[in-house]
Amino acid sequence: MEGALTLRIPLSSPDITDAEIDAVTAVLRTNTLSLGPKLEAFESALASFHQMPHAIAVSSGTAALHLAIHALGIGPGDEVIVPSFTFIAVANAVRYESATPVFVDIDPATLNMDPASVEAAISSRTRAIIIVHNFGVPAEMEALMALARRHHLFVIEDACEAIGATYKNQHVGSFGDISVFAFYPNKQITTGEGGAILTRDSQLADRMRALRNQGRYPSGDWLQHAELGYNYRLSEMACALGIVQLSRLDQILVERQSVAERYDKLLVLNPLIERPPLQIKHRTISWFVYVLRLSSSLPIGTRDILLDIMIKQGIACARYFAPIHLQPAYQSLHQAQHAILPVTESISQRTLALPFFNRLSEDDAESVVSSLTSAIAEVSAGQKE
């Protein structure tokens, strides 16, 4: 998205301090760069933060999703209910195990999966629901968990964009059978590349630890593999970085909330922009991105024109999200399912993510909004001619 142009304001930027650099450097001065004490410490910190007994650090959020689905025994002939308005890894991980993702629509307020749409999609082949907390906004957990219990379905929480968010004072990632997190550089905290899995089930935890390490269990030696596994380990350097980042999470979330509030004030008077809510009842938001919606009064295609204008001005913006069921990799599956997702398809054409990170300055935020306002005026004037 950022292309070859020189961007004066990037879409995201990791917040790395000397403490993180020192922690990583200290690991590099040891002989243990993988499967060492930093891995155990990072997992312990993640588990403690979420009040969960087991955490398994892995190489990415996608790896975490894949291990969750595999460990639950989901496979050919099974269906897993997922939102289409999310990152494509959610559906890809289901297909890795030859199961079928069944796409459902979203709630127009939270942009998370709509419980009524989920209930309508449940069939005799449904094994699980992947509940995604889009953009750091907690999904409607009470209704979704009740559905899962009533139909005896597994719940995988995708909290890759939502670490630190809460639903009714409980951290997301502590509701489902398994939950997953991601620590890519654009996330609230980062390990460079990386992810994690949380669960209360000790047997699942043991199996996923083995699966991430080529199917090795502690009872065997390095060349003894009990089952087909994967190379989904997370390095000691990444874990050292994650430990410091996690220790700073509360302050990071405060800073990101402040940036969201700054944008909200700057955009409040523009009638052609619908701002994301700053507060939602019973939930605290962990701000991952700032995604606004353009007014439905603007013609289809306006968003993409604005995106091009902003990037040419050196300001990175992005589409969040392109519906999975309409993407080329899913055309055949979409044709087979005939998914009708009106809210997803309407909203996805009008969403625009603005530059968003902890240290976005007031001047840069004002510059972003000024450029966006001018671009909207320019496009609107051209459309009237």
For the chain, percent of residues with pLDDT exceeding 90: 92
Instruction: Tell me the per-residue pLDDT of 67-118, one tens digit each, with 9 for 90 and over.
Output: 999 999 999 999 999 999 999 999 999 999 999 999 999 999 999 999 999 9
Supply the mean pLDDT for the chain. 95
Verify whether residue 312 is a known catalytic residue: no
Domain-embedded: residue 294: yes
89 in a structural domain: yes
Looking at the fold, whether 182 and 265 belong to one and the same domain comes out as no
The whole-number average pLDDT for the span 16-32 is 98
CB 179 within 8 A of CB 147: no
The whole domain housing 368 covers: 249-384
Residues 258 and 213 in one domain: no
Q: Domain boundary at 247, 273, 290, which?
A: 247
pLDDT for 338: 72
Read off the pTM: 0.95
| 67 and 182 co-located in one domain | yes
Torsion of CA 324, 119, 199, 187, to 10 degrees: 30
pLDDT in tens, 175-197: 999 999 999 999 999 999 999 99
* Residues 215 and 284 placed together within one structural domain of the fold: no
Question: Residues 259, 239: one domain?
Answer: no
What is the pLDDT, as a whole number, of residue 3?
47
Give how many domains the chain has, as a whole number: 2
CA distance 27 to 298: 53
Catalytic residue among 168, 187, 265, 384: 187
Among 189, 215, 247, the domain boundary falls at 247
For range 282-304, the mean pLDDT: 96
| Judgement on whether residues 284 and 199 belong to the same structural domain of the protein | no
Phi, psi at 327, each rounded to 5°? -80, 150
* C-alpha closest to that of 141 among 123, 124, 126, 129: 129
Q: What is the Cα–Cα distance from 216 to 207, expressed in whole angstroms?
A: 9
Give residue 1's pLDDT: 43
Residue 5 lies in a domain: no
Q: 218 and 124: one domain?
A: yes
Tens-digit pLDDT profile for residues 218-237: 887 889 899 999 999 999 99
Residue 10 lies in a domain: no
Q: Is residue 129 part of a domain?
A: yes
Q: Which of 247, 282, 300 is the last residue of a domain?
A: 247
Beta bridge partners of 158: 132, 180
CATH of the domain at 291: 3.90.1150.10
Please report, for the domain that includes residue 132, its CATH number.
3.40.640.10
